[in-house]
Structure 1
């Protein structure tokens, strides 16, 4: 709500209207920032190092903003999916809720620290933290520089940075929820052993398991459909980030230690963010495959024939593992993470040859 995702359903019409204006204002600020940064990068095109450094810094904003735009068009469908998950009655372990909250806070604090370091180090040398075109000359006085920095933070902090971080945490939470419910489904198969001697209870619990499995398959497909553009942008941005950081560090070396450390910090952050998505995507694949093993490990040999046939259907369905994809082209997994790193290095090698 605070970063412009969606409003409270209990608000009045006027409150919803004001919130819509706030939401649109955030979009205008974000688009303004990426537009001004594009102009600023273009104006520094004659200085290769400065231009590449500008692209590398702006890439974070482009990554966040493009994903925010994708989310804007999928917002109503995602909201409907979240409501259905809440109404399903699925239980999320309390420690996992706390874990996701801590990860969200830690990600936000870490990113804020990096932005503050970039801003402070840039102001010390009389420059803006990013290549942004402004209608006044920041080199005239410290007040001009301070005004430029404040302007950049206003149109970048909440509209782009915190909104993008909140969106990352939201998507990660959705995937984590799906992972938890797949694990819960495996546990429910194990609990069927407690009803071996009571056929009525066995049938009732098995029916609940099948219904939940079908529901989770549908959730997975909906999430893949709604988030595939989001993950495609993430993978492209991550590949570019790895490549650009490698090129810049090669060009400047460690002669500019402060700048090099900042770029390394940004690279590490990008590596962590991409790893979280790929790790969770890998967990979805692994846990969905685990359902077939859990189903097979039940004492199905003593079940009635009709239940054995139904269990076979569940096993066959579970062997087609659930997955999340980037644009329907690459599966979000640790293998894709490694491939993305390799692609980034390959592009860097080509660029390095071209530069030298």
Structure 2
């Protein structure tokens, strides 16, 4: 599908009169599928990705298998929050998929002008793809081939995005456990059945180990996905802008507005989930230092107080998901995508006039 979309993009640029509407339709599909393919290639080819995924699954299973009900309850609450947001994203994609499939079949053909002042009727198709035959002459076959491509592309996009969102959100659940153990350190250290000093020492070492595991996970994830995140950041604003510019210079109908709105909301929710959870991880990693301050740190043994001070110093360096070497994934970066989207929309609107 991606290859045929790229071929169709090439044919658009070869035309004497470049249509902004057709270009926007093609770029909207090409960009989102291109970044999905890039992520899939990284997932398939990088052994380190499979390693951190397996480690995350094992860590989550250990949380649910442990006898500490409080820890399980914290992680379950976090998982439910992620699941709710994922379900919202799935709902938006489902509505978009139905619109992509149904609207072309129920809309009336559009009359366009061809050479020698002749006109012909053109029926809409779900996707702007290239086929080695006359698509209007063989409309039924083309329509069902487009539906097949919609199913394949939609499945890949959905699975890839869900995996990425969950993997970005995963450290948040681990950090919430660390935060709770720090705030309730006096209770947490009682699980170690030794004398008072040894309990505090072992308890804080366990907290440090879990925190280090999160740091290592994020560093490995950045090594694998930082470049893809940069490409996604650069293309997201153009892709979302192209969604809106599809209605430029064309007859605006209820179906067109509905499709554009659904596409826009789906892509915005997609980008928002990435940057929202990445921002939450950064924010919570900084809050861990305050969590130590709220516990009875002054009553702990001297060596534990020293470790707490070192822990606070480490927390001053936030944990970030990187966008290449360009920046970090945060809500500020998400707002930058929205601002760039507006700029591209105004540019394409000016070109189309």
More divergent stretch after superposition (299-308 vs 275-284): 299-308
Please state how far the C-alpha of 1:110 moved relative to its aligned partner. 3.0
CA gap 1:40/1:147 in 2 versus in 1, 3 angstroms: farther
Distance apart, 1:148 and its partner CA: 1.0
Equivalences, count: 321
1:71 aligns with 2:18: no
Q: 1:354 to 1:137 in 2, by over 3 A?
A: closer
Deviation at 1:111, TM superposition (A): 1.6
Partner of 2:28: 56
Q: 1:218 deviation in Å?
A: 0.8
CA distance 1:70–1:40, change in 2 (3 Å): farther
Q: CA-to-partner distance for each residue in 1:236-281, whole Å, 9 max, x for gaps?
A: 23211232234334444x6344223312221111111111111101
Equivalents in 2 of 1:105, 1:41: separation in Å? 37
Consecutive unaligned residues of structure 1, counting only runs of 5 or more, are 1-29
State the distance in 2 between where 1:112 and 1:317 align: 43
Farther-moved stretch of structure 1 (45-54 vs 178-187): 45-54
User: 1:351: how far off?
Assistant: 3.3
Alpha carbons 2:200, 2:301 under 8 Å: kept = no
1:90–1:320 Cα change, 3 Å:
farther
Q: Which residue of 1 aligns with 2:96?
A: 114
Question: Partner of 2:323 in structure 1?
Answer: 326
Cα offset, 1:135, TM superposition:
1.9
Aligned to 1:335: 332
Bigger shift: residues 164-173 or 49-58? 49-58
SS of the residue aligned with 1:129?
Answer: coil
Cα offset, 1:322, TM superposition: 0.2
Q: Deviations over 1:308-355 (max 9, x none)?
A: 221111001011010102223121111111111112212333333333
For the pair 1:165 / 2:137, whether they are aligned, the reply is no
Q: Which residue of 2 aligns with 1:185?
A: 178
Q: Distance in 1 between matches of 2:185 and 2:97?
A: 52
Structure 1's 302 and 51: CA in aligned 2 closer, same or farther, altered over 3 A?
closer
Aligned to 2:112: none
CA-atom RMSD in angstroms: 2.5
From 184, 196, 202, give the equivalent of 1:198: 196
Q: Structure 1's 227 and 47: CA in aligned 2 closer, same or farther, altered over 3 A?
A: same
User: Partners in 1 of 2:283 and 2:13 — Cα distance?
Assistant: 45
Aligned to 1:151: 145
* 8 Å CA contact 1:281, 1:332 repeated in 2: yes
Uncovered stretches (5+) of structure 2, i.e. residues with no partner = 65-71, 110-122
Q: What is the aligned partner in structure 1 of residue 55 from structure 2?
A: 84
The higher radius of gyration belongs to 2
- 8 Å CA contact retained: 1:175, 1:280: yes
Aligned-pair distance for 1:299? 1.8
Query: CA-to-partner distance for each residue in 1:6-45, whole Å, 9 max, x for gaps?
Result: xxxxxxxxxxxxxxxxxxxxxxxx5444444435644667
Higher relative contact order (Cα pairs below 8 Å, separated by 6+ residues): 2
- Classify the secondary structure of the residue corresponding to 2:239: helix
Structure 1 317/305 Cα, relative in aligned 2: closer, same or farther at 3 Å?
A: same
- Alpha-carbon deviations, 1:219-250, whole Å to 9, x = none? 11111222212322322232112322343344
SS at match of 2:147: helix
Instruction: Call closer, same or farther: CA 1:135–1:350 in 2, change over 3 Å.
Output: closer
Which residue of structure 2 aligns with residue 13 of structure 1?
none
Asked if 1:174 is matched to 2:167, the reply is yes
Within 1, Cα distance between the matches of 2:308 and 2:244?
52
Question: 2:105 maps to what in 1?
Answer: 123
Pair 1:104–1:318, CA change in 2 (3 A): same
